[in-house]
Chains A and B, each alone.
Chain A
Amino acid sequence: MQTTLEDPAGPLLEVRGLTKVFGTLKACEAIDLTISRGEIHALLGENGAGKSTFVKMLFGALEPTAGSILWKGRDVAITSPSEARRRGIGMVFQHFSLFDALTAAENIMLSLDDPAPASAVAARARDLSRTYGLPLDPNAHVGDLSVGERQRIEIIRCLLQNPELIILDEPTSVLTPQEADRLFETLERLRSEGRSILYISHRLEEVKRICDRATVLRHGRVVAECDPRRETAASLARMMVGDEVQPVIRDKPAAAREVLLEIRDLDRRASHPFAVPLAGINLAVHAGEILGVAGVAGNGQGEFFEAVSGEALQERPDAVRIGGKDAGRLDITGRRLMGAAFVPEERLGHAAAPFMTLSQNLLLSRHRTDARAFLARLGIIRGTIVARAAERISAAMDVRKAGDDPEAAALSGGNLQKFVIGRELDRQPRVMVVNQPTWGVDAGAAARIRQALIDLAKSGSAVLVISQDLDELFEICDAIAVMHGGRLSAPIPVAEATYEKIGLLMGGAEPGHAAAPMAEAV
Chain B
Amino acid sequence: MRIELVKRPQHSAMFSALSPFIALALTLGAGAIMFALMGKDPLEALYYFFIDPLRETWSLHELAVKAAPLILIAVGLAVCYLSNNWNIGAEGQFIIGAILGSMLPVMFPELQSWIVLPLMLLMGILGGAAYAAIPALLKTRFNTNEILTSLMLVYVAQLFLDWIVRGPWRNPEGFNFPETRNFHSYAILPEIWPASGRAHWGFVFAILAALALWFVLSRTLKGFEVKVIGQSPRAGRFAGFSRARMVIFAFLVSGALAGLAGISEVSGAIGQLRPSISPGYGFAAIIVAFLGRLNPLGIIAAGLVLALSYLGGEAAQISIGVTDKVARSFQGMLLFFVLACDMLIHYRIRISRPVRAIGGEARAHV
Bound Cα distance A110, B235 (Å): 30
Q: Which residue in A82, A110, A375 is a CB contact (below 8 Å) of B221?
A: A375
Bound Cα distance A160, B147 (Å): 43
Across-interface contacts of B220 in A (CB, < 8 A)? 378-381
Decide yes or no whether B55 CB sits under 8 A from chain A.
Answer: no
Decide yes or no whether B141 CB sits under 8 A from chain A.
Answer: no
Bound Cα distance A29, B221 (Å): 41
Decide yes or no whether A6 CB sits under 8 A from chain B.
Answer: no
| Distance from A35 Cβ to chain B, minimum over Cβ atoms (Å) | 24
Q: Contact: B235 with A353, CB < 8 Å?
A: yes
Bound Cα distance A332, B241 (Å): 9
User: With A114-B354, A114-B355, A381-B224 in contact, is A353–B231 under 8 Å at CB?
Assistant: yes
Q: Contact: B234 with A381, CB < 8 Å?
A: no
User: With A332-B238, A350-B235, A365-B239 in contact, is A356–B221 under 8 Å at CB?
Assistant: no
**Would you give the 0/1 interface string for A350-376, flagging 1 where the beta carbon is closer than 8 Å to chain B?**
111111100010011101100000010
Which of B62-70, B85-93, B261-269, B358-366 forms contacts with chain A?
B358-366
Q: Contact: A117 with B219, CB < 8 Å?
A: no
Bound Cα distance A350, B221 (Å): 19
Decide yes or no whether A349 CB sits under 8 A from chain B.
Answer: yes
Bound Cα distance A381, B364 (Å): 56
Q: Contact: A379 with B227, CB < 8 Å?
A: no
Q: How large is the interface on B (under 10, 10 to 19, 20 to 34, 35 or more residues)?
A: 20 to 34
Q: Which residue of B lies closest to A343 (CB)?
A: B238
Bound Cα distance A19, B70 (Å): 50
Bound Cα distance A363, B358 (Å): 56
Decide yes or no whether B82 CB sits under 8 A from chain A.
Answer: no
Bound Cα distance A88, B361 (Å): 22
**Would you give the 0/1 interface string for B325-366, flagging 1 where the beta carbon is closer than 8 Å to chain A?**
000000000000000000000000000101101100111111
> Considering residues A331, A353, A360, which has the most beta carbons from chain B within 10 angstroms of its beta carbon?
A353
Across-interface contacts of B221 in A (CB, < 8 A)? 363, 367, 375, 379-381
Q: Contact: B238 with A311, CB < 8 Å?
A: yes
Q: Contact: A331 with B240, CB < 8 Å?
A: yes
Q: Contact: A365 with B366, CB < 8 Å?
A: no
Decide yes or no whether B168 CB sits under 8 A from chain A.
Answer: no
Decide yes or no whether A233 CB sits under 8 A from chain B.
Answer: no
Decide yes or no whether A510 CB sits under 8 A from chain B.
Answer: no
Decide yes or no whether A333 CB sits under 8 A from chain B.
Answer: yes
**Would you give the 0/1 interface string for B51-87, flagging 1 where the beta carbon is closer than 8 Å to chain A?**
0000000000000000000000000000000000000
Bound Cα distance A94, B296 (Å): 41
Q: Which residue of A lies closest to B366 (CB)?
A: A115
Bound Cα distance A352, B239 (Å): 9
| Distance from B16 Cβ to chain A, minimum over Cβ atoms (Å) | 12
Q: Contact: A114 with B361, CB < 8 Å?
A: yes
Q: Contact: B240 with A117, CB < 8 Å?
A: no
Q: Contact: A353 with B357, CB < 8 Å?
A: no
Q: Which residue in A309, A336, A351, A367 is a CB contact (below 8 Å) of B235?
A: A351
Across-interface contacts of A116 in B (CB, < 8 A)? 357, 361, 364
Across-interface contacts of B355 in A (CB, < 8 A)? 113-114
Q: Contact: B237 with A353, CB < 8 Å?
A: no
Q: Contact: B357 with A114, CB < 8 Å?
A: yes
Q: Contact: A115 with B363, CB < 8 Å?
A: yes
Across-interface contacts of B9 in A (CB, < 8 A)? 61-62
Q: Contact: A368 with B357, CB < 8 Å?
A: no
Q: Contact: B366 with A381, CB < 8 Å?
A: no
Decide yes or no whether A109 CB sits under 8 A from chain B.
Answer: yes
| Distance from B82 Cβ to chain A, minimum over Cβ atoms (Å) | 12
Q: Contact: A349 with B235, CB < 8 Å?
A: yes
User: With A113-B354, A332-B240 in contact, is A353–B228 under 8 Å at CB?
Assistant: yes
Across-interface contacts of A486 in B (CB, < 8 A)? none
Q: Which residue of B lies closest to A310 (CB)?
A: B240
**Would you give the 0/1 interface string for A94-136, flagging 1 where the beta carbon is closer than 8 Å to chain B?**
0000000000000001100111111000000000000000000
Bound Cα distance A346, B233 (Å): 13
Across-interface contacts of A364 in B (CB, < 8 A)? 228, 235, 238-239
Across-interface contacts of B363 in A (CB, < 8 A)? 115
Decide yes or no whether B232 CB sits under 8 A from chain A.
Answer: yes
User: With A353-B228, A353-B232, A379-B220 in contact, is A344–B238 under 8 Å at CB?
Assistant: yes
Q: Contact: B232 with A336, CB < 8 Å?
A: no
**Would you give the 0/1 interface string for A319-357, flagging 1 where the beta carbon is closer than 8 Å to chain B?**
000000000000111001000001010100111111110
Bound Cα distance A350, B234 (Å): 5
Q: Which residue of B lies closest to A82 (CB)?
A: B352
User: With A356-B228, A381-B221 in contact, is A350–B240 under 8 Å at CB?
Assistant: no
| Distance from A329 Cβ to chain B, minimum over Cβ atoms (Å) | 14
A-B contact pairs, 20 of them (CB 8 A): A82-B352, A109-B366, A113-B355, A114-B354, A115-B363, A116-B357, A116-B364, A311-B238, A349-B232, A349-B234, A351-B238, A352-B235, A353-B235, A364-B238, A378-B220, A379-B221, A380-B219, A381-B220, A381-B224, A383-B219
Contacts A113-B354, A379-B221 known; list 8 others, CB within 8 Å: A114-B361, A331-B240, A333-B240, A353-B228, A354-B232, A355-B232, A356-B231, A367-B239
A residues at B contact (CB < 8 Å): 22, 61-62, 82, 109-110, 113-118, 309, 311, 331-333, 336, 342, 344, 346, 349-356, 360, 363-365, 367-368, 375, 378-381, 383
